[in-house]
Structure 1
Amino acid sequence: MPTQHKNIVLLIADDLGKYMGSYGCPSISTPNLDRLADSGTRFDMAFASTASCSGSRSTIYTGLHTHENGQYGLNWARSHFQTFQYVDSAPKLFNQAGYRSGIIGKVHVGTEEVYCWQVREESGTRDVAWVADRCEAFFQQATVDDKPFFLTVGYIDPHRDISTRGGFGNQERQYGTRVPLLDVKPEDVEIPRWLTDLPETRQELVEYYKAINRTDTGVGLVYEALERQGLLDSTLVMFTSDNGPPFVNSKTTLYDAGIHLPLIVRQPGAKAGIVNPNMISFVDILPTLLDWASIPLDARSSDKDSRLPTSPPRQGRSFLPILQRTDLLPESDWQHHVFGSHTFHEMQNYWPTRILRTRRYKYHRNVAWRLDFPFAGDLYASITFEGIRNVEPPVMMGQRKLKDYIFRPPEELYDLDADPDEVSNLAGEEACESLLLNCRERVTEWQKQTKDLWLYRDGQSVTMLGRYAKDGLQVPERLDFDVENPGTKGVEMTKHLGVDAYSAGIER
C-alpha cells in the first residue's frame, strides 16, 4: 500500500485577475473554479507583489519580492532578467525534502539552476487537455515511486496570443471535444470600472472570456485526474493568477486592478466553502506550502556555492493556520497590510514603484515619476487601447484620465473606502499630511529591511551610497533632486543611509 503523502498542486493562470464567478463576475463561465472555491477557502484580499508575469511568479516561487530575488522584469527575449543564482526557490527546497517536483506549461522565470524542477515540461500550448494528461502522467509516476509531489501548472491562458492585436489563442487550432470554446457575444461581457465601454473593448473581452473558460476547463480536468488517481485526500490544491487582466489600467500597474487577485486553497479534510477576509501577500504562498509539507519555514538550500551570498530571509508567513477563518483577525494576530514592488515589465518598461496597501489606504512611491508611464507592447498594440485613444477628448480609461495614467506624481495616496478606483490622489492635501508621512516611512523601513536598491533620497539610491556614510557623506531627506535648490546647507538630512551596497550583497 503506497504511503499517504502530503502532495501539492499549484495552478497559476496567466493574466486572469478576478474574472471568475466566485469573485463577483456572474457574466463569466468558470464552473470548475467556482466548484474549487466551494470545496475549499477563497481569499478575498490576496495581493500579488507585482503585476508582471515573470516577477509575480518569482515571488510565488521564492517568497521574496522582485527587488530581493533579482527577477526585476520578464524572463524573455534579450532582457536577461533572471533570479539571482543564490536564491532559494520552491523546487530547490522541495527537492531537498525528498519531493518529486515538476512544472507543466508556462515557466517564464530563470535560471534553470535556480528553478530546478525535476520534471520540466515547458510548453506554450493552450490545449489544456494535453496539460491535464501530462499532469496525470506525473501523478501516476509519483505514485509508482511512492514519493510526495509538488507540481506547478502554468497556464498560458488567458494571456493575449501576442501575435495578433486582439487575439487570445481561440483560433490557433481546433481544440478537442474535451475543450469546447465558449459562445460569447459582445453584449454578454462585463466592463470593469477601470476600462472604457467601447465596441473595441467588448470585442476583445469576448475573446478573453473564451480563454478564461478554457483555463477553467483545464483546471477541471486536472482536478478529475487527481480524483481518478485517488490523490484528492492527500493533495493541497492552490489556484491563483499572476497578475490582473491584460488591459491598460490593470496589468503592469500596482493599482488594485493589477494586483488584487484570486487565491483559492483546497486543503484535504478542511471545511468547505470558506470565504476568508484576511490580507494575503504572494510572498506568503511559499511559506504556506512549506508548512503544509512539514518543511521548516526557514529552510535553506544545502547545496550552496560558498562564494555566493546567502539567500535573503523570506518575509512572508504561512496562512495555513488561518485557512479556516471567516472572521477578521486582530492586527496582533495577523498583519493587515501588504507591500508591493515593481521595477520592469519588458525591458523598455522601466518604472519602479513601491507600495503599501492596508485595508483602507494605498500608498504609491513612484521612484521614476518624471518618466512617462510606459506601455507594455501588447497593451499599446491592443484594439482596446486603439479605441480608447481615439475617443473625443478628454480621453478616459475607465474612471481615470489618460494623461493621469501617463503622467504620475512622486507619491500617490488613496482612501480605498471612498475611492476604490484610485483616482483621487490625497498626497499633498494638508489634512492627509500625517497619513502620507506615516505611509512613506513604513515603505522606507520595509525597503531598508529588504535592502532595496530603489530606496531613493535626493534622487539617489541610498543603498548604493551607504558605503560612503562612514566617510561623512550626508544626503538630503527629500525624495528627488532639487535642481533649483541643490544645496545641502540647512537642509534636513536623511537617517536612512545605513544599508550599504556590501551588506546588500551587491558587491562581493
Structure 2
Amino acid sequence: MKKQLVAILLTILVFSKINAQDRPNILWIVSEDNTTMLGSYGDKFATTPNLDKFASQSIRYKNAFSTAPVCAPSRNTLITGMYPPSLGTEHMRSSYPVPDFVKFFPRYLREAGYYTTNNAKKDYNTDDQSEDAWDESSNKATYKNRKPGQPFFAVFNLNVSHESSLHEPVASLQHDPEKVVLPPYHPATPELKHDWAQYYDKLEEMDRQFAKLLEELEDEGLAENTIVFYYADNGGVLARSKRFMYESGLHVPLIIHLPAKYAHLAKEKQGTTSDRLVTFLDFAPTVLSLTDIKVPGYMQGGAFLGKQQRPEPQYAYGFRGRMDERIDMSRSVRDKKYRYIRNYLPNKIYGQYLEYLWRAPSVKSWEDAYKAGKLNADQSKFWEPKPAEELFDVEADPHNIRNLAEDPKYKSDLLRLRKANDQWVRSLKDVGFIPEAILFEIAKKTPLYDYARSGQYHLEKIIATADMASSRNGAHSKELIKRLTDPDPVVRYWAATGLAILKDGSAKEQLKKSLNDSEPAVRIAAAEALYVTNTDKSGAMTALTETLKSDNPYVRLQSLNILDLTGKDVEPALGLARKIADQKPEMFDYDIRAARVLLEKLGK
C-alpha cells in the first residue's frame, strides 16, 4: 500500500513538473512614449526593420490603446487589471492606496511557480507591492537567474524613446528634418521639424534594442517556448500626443508572437492583423489566461488570448486626470470608427504650461508662433479652451482635427458614445469627479475604491452636476447657483466650477458666500468664478492667498493653478508662493513645481 502511495505521489510530482515546464514563458518588451510610428503600421518615414519583421511573423493589433495618455496611470492599469478612475489612481504620480484584494498580477504567476522579473521601470501610481510581485526588479533583473526548467514572466522597458530624449537637441540626425511629414496641428517651425526627426532617430535605436532582446532569447534556446509581447506604454511624444486624449496619445502599437506550440491559444494566425479592440485593462487577464491561471473576478478587463478568452468589447475607454502640476479631467470612448472625448474642465486650455513638457524646444516654438499670430485655426486650437465634447472619425481624420460633435450628420453617433461614457463612469463609480484636494483627505482613512462603495459617495448627483457644469449651457446657471449650498462639498465644487466655466456674473452674492465654505476646494472654485467674471477680484485673491497656507498639498496646487491665471493681480499671494517654492522638493511635489513656475513666469 505504501509503495502504491509513493508511486502515485511520484507520478503527480513528475506530471506537475512536466506541466510547469510546458507552460509558456512570457516576455514583455515595452517601449516608452510612442504611438504607432512603425513601418509595420504604415509609417513610411520610420526606420524600424526589426519590429517590422517581427510583425510579419506575429499578430499585429491595429486597435490597441493605453487607458491613459501618460505612463504612471497606464502602468497602474497594467499591473492591477483595473481602471484607475475606479481605484482613485488616475492622477499622475499619486500614491493613493488600493484595497487589499487588489494584487499586482505578477504575484499570481509567482505563486504558480513562475520566475518574475522587471527591468526596470515600475511607476505603478500606488503603494508598491513589488516584493510580492517580482523575484527581481532592477536594471539587472533577468530571467536567466531562474531555476532550471522554471517558466518565467519577464518585462524589459526600453526608455530610449522616452519624452526626455527630446530635451536636448542633437547636432547630427539620421532622419532629415526637412523630410518630416508634420501632423496638421503642428506648424513647420525649425524646432518642431528637428524634434520630430530626432524622435524618429530614437525610435530607430529602440528598434535595435528590441532586436537584441530577441536575439538574446534565441541564444538562450527559449524562442520556441516564449510568447513575446511588444507594445508602448502610451502614445507620444511631441506636444498634443502624450498626455492628450487623441489617437496620438492613446493609440499604441501592440504586436504579439506565439510560437508554433502555443499558436492554438490565439484565434488569429501568426503573420496576420487583428482589428479587435484591446486596452491595457486586458493585459493582466490575458497573461493569466495564457499561463492557465484563473483570472481573479475583480479584474475589470477580459483576456483576448489563452483558454479564458472573453468576447470582444464594444468600446475602448480612456481617461485623463491631473498631469504633473496641472489639473484637468477628461474621459474618452473609442469604437472602431470614432473617438468621443468628454472634457469636464473645458475652460482649461489644452496647452496648459507643464514644466517637464516645455523642456522640449519644439513646444515653446509652437507657443511663440501662436502668440505671434502665425498659426492657422487647426494649429491654434491647442492654445485655446476646449469644447465640452469632441467627436472624431478616426478613419477619415486620424489626427483628430475635425470635431464633429456639432455636426447634425453625426448626432446619432454622438448620442450613442455620450451614453456609453455616462454608463462607464457610473459603472466604475468613478472617483475622479472628486477634486484631488478632497481625495487626498479621504485616502488617508480608506482606499478610494472602498469609499466609493460606502454609501458616502453621492455619485449620481455629483456626475449630474459635473455634466451641467461642463456643458457650457447657460440654461443650467440657476440650478448650479442652487447647488452651491448642497450638503455635499463635491457637488458644491462642481457648481462653483460650472459658474466659472460659464463666466456667469449673476451669481456674485452666492459665490461670495462660498468663499467661506468649510471645504477649501469649494472656496478656490468660487474664487475662480469671481475672478474670471470680474465681480469680486479682491475677495477672490484673498481666498486664493489664504488657501496657500493649507497643509494639504493639493489644496495648494489647486490654488496655484488659478493664481497662474491672474497676472499682476497675483502680487498679494507671492510671499506665500515663495515659501512653497523655497521648500526642498521630493521627486513629485507638484505644488512646489507650480509655485516655481508661477514665480518664473512673473520674473520673481
TM-score bucket of the superposed structures, by smaller chain: 0.7 to 0.9
Give 1:195's aligned residue.
Answer: 186
Of the candidates 92, 98, 102, which is equivalent to residue 84 of structure 1? 98
Contact 1:85–1:114 under 8 Å retained in 2? no
Q: What TM-score, normalized by structure 2, do the two folds share?
A: 0.65
Q: Deviations over 1:179-236 (max 9, x none)?
A: xx97333235443344333321121123212221221111111111111111111111
Of the candidates 270, 274, 289, which is equivalent to residue 276 of structure 1? 274
**Letter in structure 2 aligned against 1:316:** G
Q: What TM-score, normalized by structure 1, do the two folds share?
A: 0.76
Give 1:484's aligned residue.
Answer: 477
**Letter in structure 2 aligned against 1:318:** A
Contact 1:155–1:215 under 8 Å retained in 2? yes
Give 1:152's aligned residue.
Answer: 155
Give 1:33's aligned residue.
Answer: 51
User: Residues 406 and 146 from structure 1, CA distance in 2 versus in 1: closer, same or farther, beyond 3 angstroms?
Assistant: farther
Structure 2 residue 206 is matched with structure 1 residue 215: yes
Give 1:297's aligned residue.
Answer: 295
User: Residues 454 and 466 from structure 1, CA distance in 2 versus in 1: closer, same or farther, beyond 3 angstroms?
Assistant: farther
Give 1:15's aligned residue.
Answer: 33
| Equivalent-residue separation in structure 2 for 1:411 and 1:115 (angstroms) | 43
Give 2:286's aligned residue.
Answer: 288
Give 1:361's aligned residue.
Answer: 338
| Equivalent-residue separation in structure 2 for 1:469 and 1:16 (angstroms) | 38
Note the residue ranges of structure 2 that are not aligned, 5 or more in a row.
Answer: 1-16, 264-268, 440-450, 483-489, 491-604
Identical pairs, percent: 24
Of the candidates 432, 444, 457, which is equivalent to residue 454 of structure 1? 432
| Greater share of residues in helix | 2
| Greater share of residues in strand | 1
Please state how far the C-alpha of 1:386 moved relative to its aligned partner: 2.1
| Equivalent-residue separation in structure 1 for 2:379 and 2:185 (angstroms) | 11
Contact 2:32–2:233 under 8 Å retained in 1? yes
Contact 2:341–2:390 under 8 Å retained in 1? yes
| Equivalent-residue separation in structure 1 for 2:480 and 2:204 (angstroms) | 59
Of the candidates 93, 108, 114, which is equivalent to residue 93 of structure 1? 108
**Letter in structure 2 aligned against 1:229:** E
Contact 2:338–2:391 under 8 Å retained in 1? yes
SS for the counterpart of 1:365 is: strand
Structure 2 residue 134 is matched with structure 1 residue 118: yes
Please state how far the C-alpha of 1:439 moved relative to its aligned partner: 2.0
Aligned length: 436
Of the candidates 121, 140, 144, which is equivalent to residue 140 of structure 1? 144
Note the residue ranges of structure 1 that are not aligned, 5 or more in a row.
Answer: 124-133, 172-180, 300-312, 325-331, 490-496, 498-508
Please state how far the C-alpha of 1:85 moved relative to its aligned partner: 5.5
Of the candidates 32, 57, 60, which is equivalent to residue 42 of structure 1? 60
Please state how far the C-alpha of 1:7 moved relative to its aligned partner: 0.7
User: Residues 189 and 453 from structure 1, CA distance in 2 versus in 1: closer, same or farther, beyond 3 angstroms?
Assistant: same
Please state how far the C-alpha of 1:237 moved relative to its aligned partner: 0.4
Please state how far the C-alpha of 1:463 moved relative to its aligned partner: 6.1
Contact 1:389–1:395 under 8 Å retained in 2? no
Q: Deviations over 1:417-474 (max 9, x none)?
A: 4433323323344554443333222111111211202359xxx99969964879x989
| Equivalent-residue separation in structure 1 for 2:221 and 2:238 (angstroms) | 40
Please state how far the C-alpha of 1:339 moved relative to its aligned partner: 0.8
- The aligned runs of 1:51-70 (5 Å cut-off) are 51-70=69-88
| Equivalent-residue separation in structure 1 for 2:333 and 2:355 (angstroms) | 27
Give 1:102's aligned residue.
Answer: 117
| Equivalent-residue separation in structure 2 for 1:59 and 1:433 (angstroms) | 32
Of the candidates 248, 251, 254, which is equivalent to residue 260 of structure 1? 251
Give 2:300's aligned residue.
Answer: 315
Of the candidates 314, 319, 327, which is equivalent to residue 350 of structure 1? 327
Cα root mean square deviation, aligned: 3.6
Contact 2:67–2:250 under 8 Å retained in 1? yes
Please state how far the C-alpha of 1:17 moved relative to its aligned partner: 1.3
Please state how far the C-alpha of 1:401 moved relative to its aligned partner: 3.5
Contact 1:444–1:455 under 8 Å retained in 2? no
